[in-house]
Amino acid sequence: MAEAHQAVGFQFTVRPDGVDFKLSQEVIKNIYLSGVTAWKKKAIQFKNGVLAGVYPASPSSWLIVVIAMMSSLYLHIDLSLGMMDAIKENLPYRDCMSVQTRAVLSAILFATGLWLFLIYLLRYTLKALLSYHGWIFESHGKMSTSTKVWLCLVKMFSGRRPLLYSFQASLPRLPVPSVDDTIHRYLESVRPLLDNEQYNKMELLASDFKENKAAQLQRCLILKSWWATNYVSDWWEEYIYLRGRSPIMVNSNFYIMDLLYVTPTHRQAARAGNVVHAMLQYRRKLERGELAPLRALGTVPMCSTQMERMFNTTRIPGIETDFVQHLTDRKHLVVFHKGRFFQVWLYTGGRHLLPSELETQFQRILNDTSEPQPGELKLAALTAGYRVPWAQARIKYFSQGINKVSLDAIESAAFFLTLDDEPQGYDPAKTNSLDSYAKSLLHGKCYDRWFDKSFTLISYPNGKMGVNVEHSWADAPIVGHMWEYILATDCFHLGYTEEGHCKGDVNKNLPHPTRLQWQIPNECQNVIETSYLSAKQIADDVDFHGYLFAEFGKGLIKKCRTSPDAFIQLALQLAQFRDQRVFCLTYESSMTRMFRDGRTETVRSCTSEAVAFVRAMEDAGATNAQRLALFRKAAEKHQNMYRLAMTGSGIDRHLFCLYIVSKYLGVDSPFLTKVLSEPWKLSTSQTPQQQLNLVDINKFPKYVCGGGGFGPVADDGYGVSYIIVGENLITFHISSKFSSPDTDSYRFGQHIQKAMLDIQALFKSENDKTAQNAKYVHLENGKKHI
């Protein structure tokens, strides 16, 4: 009962002579320290906000400008060209001031105005420089003189030691492509997928749209691009994610795996303690804006907006549309274990709980033998099922009383943690270990992850971890950035004792985790069961196959003087054709974070050049030299498409926004309707690695992450996520549906593996031929010499 006594800040007794107060010194001390920490945090946030607000200048530069203006007064040099005199004559209450006071005040005001002008001048100069994207279209390893000059100017205007949000105001806006360019690229992308009759019909639809309706829609879109910071992102979040009424489990959420080969400790509570503590450290840096912004080429900044909602965020269900609730300064965590929900406070005495203290709290939950309350076991299935029943149940059963209090605790938590009871992870000795691990992260039991939270951290009994991520608030690279920091901090900074426990003293006086209380009526339990059954049907239909391609990796591909991404995408096209005997519309995600509030754009990987290469690979009469020439042409085309997408000249986001405008204006467009209804039977994505470079994977090759994946987008298609890990490994995460007779994830994985090896064989054949020719020339030269 010691914890209960410490939880009470004061006690009082009413007596005839008054009220007798008894204060707890320990609690008062904790309250004081919490207050000091809160004010310190606000001060740091204010300081960093000022630093980011005046970037690329600094507050000290204001003092320099003021001193320069003040010096001009004493040197009788008017650097303001008469403006300081004008300010001096128009100061309010100037009759109450001495001449010297007015002169000093006018100099300070002019200096401040000049300083602000220079800040905006630097900022807009940097924005103009960042609007140049010619560098991205240059061949790898070959940089033009103009690009070198541009890079020097960007570095010069970027300032020193930028904070996370320092570049936000300097990022250019996403440009609106011309309708002619977008339609031309669209027709080019569908040409290899349509026969002549179908293509002619599509051309007529496109021509009719361009001549009659496009101009009005384009004008509205350009107007929005002037007004909003990004003409795509808000509509993309709302209409692609939040307005969807189908389950987000599998269909929207994605997952990220733990380290493949290393498990720092096999103690579940200890591993969770270190990882949660590392997350709190990351959150503190994030809230203070102290993380370094991600920069391409080490110079070109990327937008950091998506990172703002990483913690303290929940997707709230609605009848017609959901919304994303983001809170600040959340100090607790909700933990799920064997059907029970626990609330764990993350602070004590104004500081984060230490890893050893978190381990103690999680071990207490693991040791708890209490049973779930009626309806509690599968409660989280509401977040896995259809959105409308969940929204209705939330209004009817969770809007008051203890149910509301408990639901608020979950939705306002920093994030959600599941202490799973079944071990998972990659095991080379087990054939399907990666498949089971992925399915556990993607959907689990359908009721042991809170799929609405920004992310659910999952801890397994064998010490493995993973993350399930809600997709509306951010894309995979954002969570990947956090996850890299967590794994590096866990393994190389926090560490464990020889027994596998967290380092540090054990504090047994912490208040125990508290059970969340529920009163769930039978009617609500029926809704929960219905959601669970619908979610389970989706989960059981996921056919997943994951495998590690270790025959070669990025290192060998780059020696072939081609892009690793283009290499893999062409291998996927070859595998797709061998699997289905037809080509299909292919989605590859690229990022547009070089622009303010940028998210993603689509690269349509199935090009005419890719089709020609695949047909040559399947043509027994084609020579390797012909196939290799077609491969290089297709790879160059893919790279160009990817670059266009990254620089705001993609196809699909523009057409998507034109479609949204048409719906607002009540304009019917058969062309846009046709475009937006086309199925993506092959959906692909590359998850970036080594964004932070905190771990040298050449020195520590075993400390590599398995990457992540997502569910199939089409009922009769594949979802493929691939991760280029270091120089010698590529991981593939392949998903499809058992209910489709045309797909098989394992079979498709075999096709990918063979396609990768077949393409590599083309280069090997070329290299062998080159070496043989060189040897022949050497011999001929030797004969001539003799």
Beta-sheet strands, E only, within 365-422:
416-419
Distances (CA, A) of 501 to 235, 360, 418, 460, 498: 47, 10, 19, 15, 7
Dist. CA 263–CA 496, nearest whole Å = 11
Neighbours of 493 (CB within 10 A): 11
Non-local CB neighbours of 197 within 8 Å, separated by 6+ positions: none
Quickly tell me which residue has 């390893």 as its tokens: 141
In whole angstroms, what is the distance from residue 311 CA to residue 329 CA? 9
Answer positive or negative: Cα dihedral of 17, 18, 24, 28: negative
Three-class SS of residue 651?
coil
Is residue 333 a contact partner of residue 417, using CB atoms and an 8 Å limit? yes
Question: Measured between alpha carbons, how far is 381 from 528 in angstroms, rounded to an integer?
Answer: 6
Strand-by-strand arrangement of the 729-737 sheet: 542-549, 729-737, 718-725, 682-686, 586-591, 600-604
Given the structure tokens 């408990």, which residue do they identify? 406
Strand-pair partners of 85: none
Among the listed residues 309, 304, 228, the one whose alpha carbon sits nearest the alpha carbon of residue 593: 304
- The CB-side HSE value for 301 (13 A sphere, CA atoms) comes to 30
> Measured between alpha carbons, how far is 217 from 671 in angstroms, rounded to an integer?
13
Structure-token pair, residue 545: 């196959």
Is residue 563 within 8 Å of residue 635, measured between CB atoms?
yes
Q: What is the residue whose two structure tokens read 């600094």?
A: 58
Spell out the residues 6+ positions from residue 362 whose beta carbon is closer than 8 angstroms to its own. Answer: 268, 269, 272, 273, 335, 344, 419, 459
- Per DSSP, what are the bridge partners of residue 604? 587
Q: Do residues 733 and 551 make contact, with C-beta atoms less than 8 angstroms apart?
A: no
Alpha helices in 412-497 (DSSP H): 433-442, 476-489
Pull the structure tokens for residue 317. Answer: 């269900």
Q: How far is C-alpha 215 from the chain's CA centre? A: 34
- Stated as kind and residue range, the H or E segment containing 548 is strand 542-549
Locus of tokens 């000059």: 149
User: Could you tell me the end-to-end alpha-carbon distance of the chain, in angstroms, rounded to an integer?
Assistant: 100
Closest residue by Cα to residue 334 from 367, 380, 374: 380
**Which structure tokens are listed for 430?**
């087990």
Show which residues are catalytic. Answer: 471
Using CA atoms, how far apart are residues 128 and 172, in angstroms rounded to an integer? 7
Q: Which residue has the tokens 């996850």?
A: 483
Tell me the C-alpha distance between 306 and 300, whole Å.
17
Cβ atoms of residues 221 and 176 within 8 Å: yes
Number of H helices, E strands in the chain: 24, 22
**CA–CA separation, 286 vs 284, rounded Å?**
5
Q: Nearest 5°: CA angle at 687, between 685 and 692? A: 155
